[in-house]
C-alpha cells in the first residue's frame, strides 16, 4: 500500500510517497507556475517515477496547500496547517512550536504534547516576510536565493528597514544600494525584519517560547540568514528537517494513510 | 428589502440599539439598512478610507440611492463611526430627515433617565415626521408583536442548532435579514411559515459545533462558507444575528419611556457598552454562552477598524484561554471576499477541533 501527499503551494508543488509503514519512498518538487493543474500532474508523475511505482499503486491521496481543492481523485483536502503539524511530528517529534514560511504566507503553529495543533497564527493578507518577499529582495540585490541565504555574513550591525511591505521594501533596498550601503548590512536588515514579523506571530500563540522546542518548515528554512535572525529574535535554537519544503506533503501523505485505514 | 407597498412608511435604522418598538408605535415600519452589496467605492468622498466598513457600505448605499423610500433615518451614537455616518448622511441624502439618538455607554440609573429623555425626543421627532402620537398602549402592542417575532427567531435558531431546520445557517441569516427589514406583520408571517415549513427530523450532522461572536455579519453566503469548512454554528452573538432584536416588557402603569430605556440598556450588550465595575464581563459572558451551547470553539468575526471590539479582544482571548476554549479571530469588511481569503484559517480551526 502506498500513499501520496500533494502540497500545491503558490511557488512550488511538492509530492511525497510513503509506504504502509509511513516511510518516505520518494519525493518531488516542481515550480507551480501559472497553471497549477499541469504542475500538479508533473509533480505526481515525477514522484511516482522516483519511487518506481505505477500510478494505480497509490491507495489514497490527500492534498494540501492553496490549490488543495483542485486535485482530482483525492481522498481529502486538508489545510497546510494540519499537514505541516503532522509532517513535522513524523520528522522532529519533539517539536512544540513550528514556524512555516511558504511562498505567500507564513504560519506559526503551537503543537500539543500529542502533536496535534493547539493554536496557530497565520499571515495571509500580505507577502511581507514570505518566500515572495525574499524573492523580490534577491531581485533587488541582484543575487540568487542561495546567495541571499549567506549574504548577511560579515555584516557588522545591520540596519533597520522602515517598510516591510514587499513593494516598498524593494524600493527601499534599491535606494540603500544607490547610497552605497554594504550589501551584507542590507541583507542582515532584511533577515531581521522578517524575524521581527515572525516573532510577533509567535507571541500570539506562545507568549513564552522558553523551553519550547522550535522547528521550521517551508522553503524559507533553507535560508540560513533568516534562520539565524529568527533564532536571535526568539532566543531559541531552531531545528530544521533535512527537506523542510516537503513537510506539508509528507503530512498529507501520512493523513492519507491514516484516513485510508479508517475508511477500511 | 421591503416591498413597494405605498401605504408603508419606512424609517431606516442601522444599529441594534435602535428602539424599534417606538418607531412601530409611531406608525412607521423600521427597515434596517444592511451593509450588503458591492465594496464601497463612493463613501471615501465624505468619510476617510480607514473607517468601519459597515458604516462605509451604508453610506455607499445612500450615495448610490440603493435604499427603499425612507421617511427618515434614525441613528444612534453607538460608536464614533456611527456618529460620523449620521453627519455624512445629510450631504449624501439631503432629502432625508435624520435623527441621532444619544446612547449612554453604561447602564446605571442616570443613564436610564437620560436615555428615556432621548426616547421622548425621538417620539416628538417622529410625530413631526407625520407619525402617530406614541402612547403606552401603542408601545405595549408593538412590544407584544416584537416579542412574537423574537420568539420565532429564537425557535428557528434553536431548530438550526439542533439540526432540525432544513438548510444551512445561511437560511437562518436570510430570515434574520428579512425580519429586520420587512414590515413587522409581514416579517412575522415569513418567520411563522419558515418555522412550519423548514422543520425537519434531526439531520444527525457530525460537523464541529462552534459559537460565532462579533458585530456585523449579515451576508448569508458567509455563513454558508463557514459551514462549508465543516463547522456548525450552534449559537451566535452578532448584532445582525441573535442580538439585533430587543425584547421589551412594559408594565401596566409604569413610565413606558423609562421601561424602554431600561430594556435597551440591559439588552445583550455589544462591545460599545461598558460596565465600568466589570470590565471583563463581556469576556465572561462569552465563555458562559459558548459553554452553554456545547461549542468546541469560538470564532470571533470583527470588522476592520472596529475599535470597541478590538479593544475587548485581549480580555476575551485571555478568558477563553483560561477556560481552554479555542478561539479564532478573523477580521472582515462585511463581504464574502475577505472571508473567502480566510477560508484556510477557518478550515484549519475546524480541523484542530475535530
Across residues B343-350, what is the average pLDDT?
94
Q: Look at strands A12-19 and A2-8 and give their pairing.
A: antiparallel
Tell whether B315 is covered by a domain. no
Do residues A25 and A121 share a domain? no
Q: How many contacts (CB atoms, under 8 Å) link A and B?
A: 31
Write out pLDDT tens, residues B215-245. Answer: 999 999 999 999 999 999 999 999 999 999 8
Q: Do A118 and B351 touch (CB under 8 A)?
A: no
| Buried/exposed code over B98-127 (b: 16+ C-beta within 10 A; e: otherwise) | bbbbebbbebeeebbebbbebbeebbebbe
State yes or no: pLDDT of A184 exceeds 90: no
Give pLDDT tens digits for A102-139.
Answer: 888 889 999 999 999 999 998 866 767 788 888 888 88
What's the gap in Å between the CA of A115 and the closest CA on chain B?
Answer: 11
A186 in the same domain as A159: yes
Q: What is the arrangement of strands in the sheet containing A238-239, beginning at the earlier edge strand?
A: A117-123, A106-111, A97-101, A214-217, A238-239
Say if B105 falls within a structural domain: yes
Which residues on A lie below 8 Å from B339 (Cβ)? none
**pLDDT-based confidence at residue B262 (cuts at 50, 70, 90):** very high
Asked if residue B266 is part of any domain, the answer here is: no
- Is there a single domain that holds both residue A78 and residue A167? no
**B209 pLDDT tier (thresholds 50, 70, 90):** very high
Mean pLDDT, chain A, whole residue set: 90
For residues A107 and A234, membership in a common domain is answered with yes
Other CB atoms within 10 Å distance of the CB of residue B278: 11
User: What's the mean pLDDT in B315-339?
Assistant: 88
Give the pLDDT confidence score for residue A145 in this predicted structure: 81
Shared domain for A209 and A253, answered yes or no, is: no
Predicted pLDDT at B1: 53
- pLDDT score of A155: 83
For residues A108 and A127, give the distance between their C-alpha atoms in angstroms, rounded to a whole number: 15
Which one of A10, A67, A79, A255 would you mutate to disrupt binding with B, by most B Cβ within 10 Å of its Cβ? Answer: A79
Q: Look at B351 and A122 and tell me if their CB atoms are within 8 Å.
A: no
Nearest CA in chain A to B342: A124
- pLDDT, tens digit, 9 for 90 and up, residues B290-307: 999 999 999 999 999 999
Domain count across chain A: 2
In B, residues 280-319, which contact A (CB 8 Å cutoff)?
Answer: none
Owner of C-alpha cell 468622498? B45
CB contact under 8 A, A119 and B344: no
pLDDT of residue A124: 62
pLDDT in the model for residue B45 = 92
**Chain A residues with CB-CB distance to B326 below 8 A:** 119
In the predicted structure, residue B334 carries a pLDDT above the cut 60 = yes
Contacts of A81 in chain B (CB under 8 A): 344, 348, 351-352
Residue B339's nearest CA partner among B183, B163, B196, B220 is B220
Domain of residue B59: give its range: 10-132
Query: Is B345 part of the contact surface with chain A (CB cutoff 8 Å)?
Result: yes
B44 inside domain: yes
Model pLDDT, residue B6: 54
Do A76 and A185 lie in one domain? The reply is no
Contact B344 A117 (CB under 8 A): no
Which residue's C-alpha cell is 501520496? A4
Nearest CA in chain A to B332: A125
Residue B250 has pLDDT above 70, yes or no: yes
Least confident residue range of A163-167, A205-209, A241-245, B334-338: A163-167
pLDDT attached to residue A22: 95
Which of A66, A79, A125 is facing B348, going by the closest CB pair? A79
Nearest to B225 by CA among B353, B59, B347, B49: B347
Q: Note the helical H segments in chain A.
A: 36-51, 80-91, 131-141, 145-150, 166-178, 183-205, 224-234, 247-263
Rounded Cα–Cα distance for residues B309 and A170 (Å): 35
pLDDT at residue A136, as a whole number: 82
Whether A124 has its CB under 8 Å from any CB of chain B: the answer is yes
Q: Which residue of chain A is at minimal alpha-carbon distance from B345?
A: A122
Which pLDDT score, from 0 to 100, does residue A187 have? 86
Q: Which residues are bridge partners to B301 per DSSP?
A: B214, B330
Rounded to whole angstroms, the Cα distance separating A48 from A59 reads 13
Contact residues on chain B for A119, CB-CB shorter than 8 A: 326
Into how many domains does chain B fold?
1
Pick the closest to residue A206 from A214, A197, A218, A196 (CA basis).
A214
Query: Residue A210 belongs to what domain range?
Result: 93-240
Q: How far apart are CA B270 and CA B265, in angstroms?
A: 11
Q: What is the mean pLDDT of residues B177-206?
A: 93
Question: Are residue A68 and residue A117 in the same domain, yes or no?
Answer: no
Average pLDDT over residues B188-196: 96
Spell out which residues of chain B touch residue A66, defining contact as CB-CB under 8 Å: 344
pLDDT of A3 above 90: yes
A118 touches chain B (CB under 8 A): yes
From chain A, the residues in CB contact with B351 under 8 A are: 78-79, 81-82, 117
Q: Do B351 and A125 touch (CB under 8 A)?
A: no
**pTM given for the model:** 0.90
- How does residue B340 score in pLDDT terms, banded at 50, 70 and 90? low
Q: Same domain, yes or no, for A124 and A28?
A: no
* pLDDT score, position A208: 87
pLDDT in tens, B9-50: 999 999 999 999 999 999 999 999 999 988 888 999 999 988
Q: Which of B235, B329, B322 is nearest to B280 (CA)?
A: B322
Which residues of B are less than 8 Å from A79 in CB distance? 344, 347-348, 351
Whether residues A128 and A236 share a domain: the answer is yes
- Tell me if B123 is assigned to some domain: yes
Task: Give the residue carrying C-alpha cell 522558553.
Answer: A210
The pLDDT value given to residue A143: 83
Tell me what ipTM this predicted complex has: 0.87
pLDDT score of B281 more than 90:
no
Confidence category of residue B2, pLDDT binned at 50, 70, 90: low
Nearest chain A Cα distance for residue B345, angstroms: 7
Classify residue B191: in a domain, yes or no.
Answer: no
Q: Are residues A134 and A180 in the same domain?
A: yes
Q: Let me know whether A199 and A252 are in one domain.
A: no
Name chain B contacts of A80, Cβ cutoff 8 Å.
344, 348
**Cβ contact B347–A80 (<8 Å):** no
Q: How far apart are CA A53 and CA A66, in angstroms?
A: 27
Q: How confident is the model at residue A246 (pLDDT cuts 50, 70, 90)?
A: very high
Chain B residues with CB inside 8 Å of A82's CB? 348, 351-352
Pair (A136, A251) in one structural domain: no
Please name which of B107, B177, B185, B114 lies closest in space to residue B144, comparing C-alpha atoms.
B185
**Three-class secondary structure of residue B275 per DSSP:** coil
Provide the CATH number for the domain around residue A34.
3.30.420.40
Residues 147-176 of B with CB under 8 A from A: none
Q: Taking CA atoms, what residue in A is nearest to B230?
A: A78
The enclosing domain of B45 has a CATH number of 3.40.50.11890
| B105-108 long-range contacts, CB within 8 A, separation 24+ | B105/B272, B105/B273, B105/B274, B106/B273, B106/B274, B106/B275, B106/B276, B107/B265, B107/B266, B107/B273, B107/B275
Amino acid at each position: 500500500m502506498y500513499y501520496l501527499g500533494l502540497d500545491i503551494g503558490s511557488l512550488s508543488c511538492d509530492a511525497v510517497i510513503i509506504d504502509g509503514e509511513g516511510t518516505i519512498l520518494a519525493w518531488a518538487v516542481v515550480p507551480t507556475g501559472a497553471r497549477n493543474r499541469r504542475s500538479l500532474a508533473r509533480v505526481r508523475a515525477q514522484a511516482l517515477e522516483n519511487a518506481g511505482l505505477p500510478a494505480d499503486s497509490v491507495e489514497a491521496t490527500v492534498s494540501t496547500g492553496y490549490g488543495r481543492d483542485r486535485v482530482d481523485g483525492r481522498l481529502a483536502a486538508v489545510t497546510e496547517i494540519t499537514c505541516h503539524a503532522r509532517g513535522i511530528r513524523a520528522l522532529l517529534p519533539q517539536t512544540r512550536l513550528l514556524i512555516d514560511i511558504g511562498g505567500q504566507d507564513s504560519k506559526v503553529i503551537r503543537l500539543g504534547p500529542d502533536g496535534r495543533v493547539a493554536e496557530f497564527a497565520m499571515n495571509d493578507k500580505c507577502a511581507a516576510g514570505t518566500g515572495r518577499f525574499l524573492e523580490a529582495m534577491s531581485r533587488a540585490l541582484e543575487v540568487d536565493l542561495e546567495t541571499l541565504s549567506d549574504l548577511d555574513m560579515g555584516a557588522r550591525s545591520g540596519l533597520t528597514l522602515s517598510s516591510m511591505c514587499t513593494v516598498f521594501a524593494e524600493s527601499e533596498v534599491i535606494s540603500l544600494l544607490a547610497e552605497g550601503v554594504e550589501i551584507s548590512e542590507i541583507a542582515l536588515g532584511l533577515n531581521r525584519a522578517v524575524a521581527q514579523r515572525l516573532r510577533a506571530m509567535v507571541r500570539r500563540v506562545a507568549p513564552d517560547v522558553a523551553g519550547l522546542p522550535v522547528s521550521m518548515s517551508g522553503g524559507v528554512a533553507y535560508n540560513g540568514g533568516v534562520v539565524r535572525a529568527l533564532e536571535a529574535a526568539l532566543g531559541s535554537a531552531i531545528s530544521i528537517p533535512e527537506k523542510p519544503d516537503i513537510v506539508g506533503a509528507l503530512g498529507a501523505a501520512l493523513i492519507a494513510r491514516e484516513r485510508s485505514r479508517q475508511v477500511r | 428589502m421591503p416591498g413597494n407597498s405605498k401605504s408603508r412608511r419606512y424609517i431606516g435604522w442601522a444599529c441594534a440599539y435602535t428602539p424599534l418598538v417606538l418607531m412601530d408605535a409611531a406608525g412607521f415600519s423600521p427597515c434596517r439598512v444592511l451593509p450588503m452589496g458591492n465594496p464601497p467605492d463612493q463613501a471615501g468622498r465624505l468619510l476617510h478610507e480607514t473607517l468601519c466598513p459597515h458604516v462605509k457600505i451604508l453610506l455607499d448605499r445612500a450615495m448610490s440611492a440603493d435604499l427603499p423610500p425612507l421617511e427618515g433615518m434614525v441613528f444612534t451614537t453607538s460608536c464614533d463611526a456611527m456618529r460620523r455616518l449620521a453627519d455624512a448622511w445629510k450631504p449624501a441624502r439631503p432629502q432625508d430627515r435624520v435623527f441621532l439618538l444619544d446612547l449612554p455607554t453604561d447602564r446605571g440609573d442616570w443613564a436610564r433617565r437620560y436615555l428615556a429623555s432621548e426616547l421622548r425626543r425621538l417620539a416628538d421627532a417622529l410625530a413631526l415626521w407625520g407619525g402617530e402620537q406614541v402612547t403606552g398602549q401603542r408601545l405595549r402592542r408593538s412590544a407584544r408583536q416584537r416579542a412574537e417575532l423574537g420568539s420565532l427567531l429564537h425557535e428557528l435558531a434553536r431548530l438550526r442548532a439542533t439540526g432540525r431546520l432544513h438548510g444551512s445557517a445561511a437560511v437562518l441569516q436570510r430570515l434574520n435579514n428579512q425580519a429586520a427589514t420587512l414590515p413587522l406583520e409581514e416579517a412575522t408571517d415569513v418567520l411563522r411559515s419558515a418555522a412550519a415549513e423548514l422543520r425537519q427530523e434531526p439531520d444527525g450532522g457530525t460537523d464541529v459545533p462552534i459559537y460565532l461572536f462579533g458585530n456585523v455579519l449579515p451576508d448569508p453566503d458567509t455563513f454558508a462558507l463557514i459551514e462549508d469548512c465543516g463547522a456548525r454554528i450552534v449559537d451566535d452573538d452578532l448584532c445582525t444575528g441573535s442580538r439585533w432584536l430587543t425584547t421589551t416588557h412594559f408594565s401596566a402603569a409604569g413610565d413606558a419611556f423609562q421601561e424602554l430605556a431600561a430594556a435597551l440598556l440591559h439588552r445583550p450588550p455589544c462591545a460599545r457598552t461598558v460596565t465600568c465595575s466589570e470590565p471583563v464581563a463581556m469576556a465572561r459572558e462569552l465563555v458562559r454562552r459558548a459553554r452553554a451551547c456545547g461549542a468546541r470553539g469560538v470564532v470571533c468575526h470583527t470588522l476592520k477598524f472596529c475599535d470597541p471590539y478590538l479593544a475587548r479582544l485581549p480580555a476575551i482571548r485571555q478568558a477563553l484561554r483560561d477556560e481552554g476554549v479555542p478561539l479564532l479571530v478573523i477580521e472582515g469588511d462585511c463581504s464574502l471576499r475577505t472571508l473567502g481569503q480566510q477560508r484556510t484559517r477557518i478550515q484549519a480551526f475546524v480541523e484542530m477541533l475535530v
